[in-house]
Amino acid sequence: MLLKGKTAVISGGAGARGIGFATAKTFAAQGARVAILDLDAAGAAKAAAELGPEHVGIGCDVTDKADCARAIGEVLAATGRIDILINNAGITQAIKVWDIDPESWARIQDVNLKGVLYLSQAVMPHMRERKAGAIACMSSVSAQRGGGILGGAHYSAAKAGVLGLAKAMARELGADGIRVNCVTPGLIQTDINAGKISDDARVKILENIPLNRLGVPQDVANIFLFLASDLSAYVTGAVIDVNGGMLI
Ligand code: NAD
């Protein structure tokens, strides 16, 4: 039991086939009490209920600073402590760079990047007071290779921003005993890309993946488990690729 007695907040965990819910299930199986936050409040409540009565699901829009503070306050009222934050919520949009308009730019930055700041800020007073905490943030291979297979340049920019934000937070929060790390997944089969990869595209993608398969949510959940647990007690500001070797 790697997370026995710990409470973990996971954003974007409502989707049954998503990385967030796979992470929630993995953490619960390792003894954690889990709070799932998602824009889809009903989905978050349903996902938490599926894990068991001690887990909570709460509606939260990570783009809204006050809403993040409210949701974290509700988690603390229900659980009394937060040891782990997984900033997983995100959206993508397949669009060419010349077609990005101010609204789509803002929306993609707000959810993927600003949401990481706001939710992290919401847990900081509690973690700083307790001098302990593990925060892990969702970036993407799109940040590293420029342009995703299914995401636009605005998504790459937002996910690259997450790397800088997480490293800066790791530097500033280290003295308070708080670790901050990132994962950079390759193509993981979830609702975000379901039905969007043609057979031809799939063959081309696999040519560039030495492990010769697309990722599954559990591949990422396992790395979040490592980063959330004391196994990574001396790891902060790190970026872990979960991409089957796509960047070798
Ligand atoms: P998903 O669509 O199942 O999960 C995203 C979740 O975020 C959804 O439950 C959605 O309701 C929630 N969400 C969206 N906007 C929100 C908001 N404003 N506030 C709170 N919650 C919000 O897809 P997924 O593939 O599991 O994605 C999880 C994360 O992984 C995302 O950040 C995504 O960008 C990232 N990622 C995915 C892949 C992939 O190939 N699937 C690769 C790299 C990174």
Q: Check which CATH number belongs to the domain holding 32 and give it.
A: 3.40.50.720
Residue in 107, 150, 188, 192 to alter for ligand 1 test, most ligand atoms within 8 A of Cβ: 192
- Is residue 155 part of the annotated active site? The answer reads yes
- Whether residue 215 lies inside any domain: the answer is yes
At 194 the pLDDT is 80
ipTM greater than 0.90, yes or no?
A: yes
CB-side neighbour CA atoms (13 Å) of 248: 10
- Whether residue 185 lies inside any domain: the answer is yes
Q: Of residues 21, 27, 118, 155, which has the active-site annotation?
A: 155
Structure tokens at 119: 């939710």
Over residues 37-93, the pLDDT tens digits come to 999 999 999 999 999 999 999 999 999 999 999 999 999 999 999 999 999 999 999
Q: Where are the alpha helices (DSSP H) in 131-182?
A: 141-145, 153-173
Q: Return the closest-CA partner of residue 139 out of 158, 115, 154.
A: 158
Residue in 11, 190, 219, 246 to alter for ligand 1 test, most ligand atoms within 8 A of Cβ: 190
Pocket of ligand 1 (CB under 6 A): 11-12, 14-15, 18-20, 38-40, 60-63, 88-92, 111, 115, 138, 140, 185, 187-188, 190-193
Q: How many domains is the chain partitioned into structurally?
A: 1
What does the alpha-carbon distance between residue 45 and residue 51 come to, in Å, rounded to a whole number?
10
Domain, as residue range, for 59: 7-241
For the CA atoms of the chain, what is the radius of gyration? 17
Q: Which atom of ligand 1 is nearest to the CA of 186?
A: 42
- Whether residue 18 lies inside any domain: the answer is yes
Low-confidence ranges of the chain (pLDDT < 70): 148
At 148 the pLDDT is 66
- Whether residue 1 lies inside any domain: the answer is no
- Whether residue 246 lies inside any domain: the answer is no
Please list, in sequence order, all residues whose beta carbon lies within 8 angstroms of the beta carbon of residue 164, skipping any fewer than 6 positions away: none
- Whether residue 129 lies inside any domain: the answer is yes
- Whether residue 247 lies inside any domain: the answer is no
Find tokens 């229900």 and name the residue.
78
- Whether residue 248 lies inside any domain: the answer is no
At 201 the pLDDT is 86
